Amino acid sequence: MKVLFAGLGSIGQRHVRNLRALMGEHVEILAYRANGDSPVLNADMTVKHGVTLESTYNIRSFSNLDDALGQKPDAVFVTNPNSVHLPVALAAAKAGCHLFIEKPLADSLDGVEELIDIVEHKSLVAFVAYQFRFHPGLRWIKNLLEERRLGTLAAAHIVNGEYLPDWHPYEDYRQSHAARRALGGGALRIQTHEFDYALWLFGMPRRLYAVGGHLSGLELDVEDSVSVLLSCEDRRGVFPVHIHLDYLQRPPQRVCEVIGDAGKVHYDFYSNQVVFHDVKSRTTQQVQFRGFERNQMFVDELRHFLACLRGEAQPLVDLRESVRSLQFSLLADESLRAGTAVAFAPDQRTTLTDSH
């Protein structure tokens, strides 16, 4: 098997490490490196000095994408900045390569329809990497919702906050793609896991309203704190879902709480647990995911992608599914700029299957 990585920053290197761990030397790894200046990173995000990515992971690198695609890789991992996901993905799809695309799919809808057409016409595998779909805590909540154990839903509250300069201590945060609009940065385009799993859990909302902006002293040209209120629907009516994203919180926070008339569930990423309060039985169930480490989600999504390549599974998040969270972030940005609520068009809500 031969794979090409387009981009070897922190996330690209994580996938390379995991791929080597799963397949050893049974996979040939190529890299398209437009700049070639990424340091070699350890798993703990510290820099490994005196070595190159090529020697560390037995990689052949190319500075030209056409030259790299000319090596006829079986699959391409699109792990470069958000603003250049689509051009690389389109070139790879036209070359007949399967696609593993880091989230989000893109920073706009331009070219997305063309990519979907090529992938479907050529019967290619295309997976968009929302690894939180593989987190046991969120899967536990998904099961509760499917079993209707929370009853009629009343509200949900989701938070993802983490201080941006702590994300990649080895680099100047001001130069990172998260901090620069031209590279597809901003909380609404970077912290999209919460958008994806909210849609997975609750379906497409009717409308949303976003408030926030660049509210801190961080040196960036994007929004660093946003709260988005969604109008979602359960079988008995409308209920609110609140999503808060920021680049500011110390210590970091990542939680999801769902409230219904039959119970309440609280998921905490950093404490590795879910707590479920059952109203009828008046009991509280605490599930601790002992031994679970963050990297396991990345390993599991990689195993899933490899199973899709073998024809043993269908992508959990394909291109059409990933368009939902992209539409979500774009509409939230529109609402943030306009200062008004924004409605989802009927086709945005009906062309994809409801989550439950």
Three-state SS string over 94-118 comes to: HCCCEEEEECCCCCCCCCHHHHHHH
In words, the CATH class of domain 2-124 is alpha beta
Q: What's the pLDDT tens digit per position in 173-225? A: 999 999 999 999 999 999 999 999 999 999 999 999 999 999 999 999 999 99
Taking residues 123-138, what's their average pLDDT? 97
Indicate the residue type of 338.
Answer: A
Taking the C-alpha atoms of residue 354 and residue 338, their distance in angstroms, rounded to an integer, is: 28
Predicted confidence (pLDDT) at residue 352 exceeds the cutoff of 50? no
Q: What's the pLDDT tens digit per position in 282-302? A: 999 999 999 899 999 999 999
Taking residues 21-35, what's their average pLDDT? 94
Predicted confidence (pLDDT) at residue 354 exceeds the cutoff of 60? no
348 band by pLDDT with thresholds 50, 70 and 90: low
Tell me the pLDDT of the chain averaged across its residues: 94
Can you name the CATH fold of 137-350?
Answer: Dihydrodipicolinate Reductase; domain 2 (3.30.360)
35 band by pLDDT with thresholds 50, 70 and 90: confident
Predicted confidence (pLDDT) at residue 350 exceeds the cutoff of 60? no
Taking the C-alpha atoms of residue 328 and residue 17, their distance in angstroms, rounded to an integer, is: 31
pLDDT at 147: 96
Domain ranges within the chain, ordered by starting residue:
2-124, 137-350
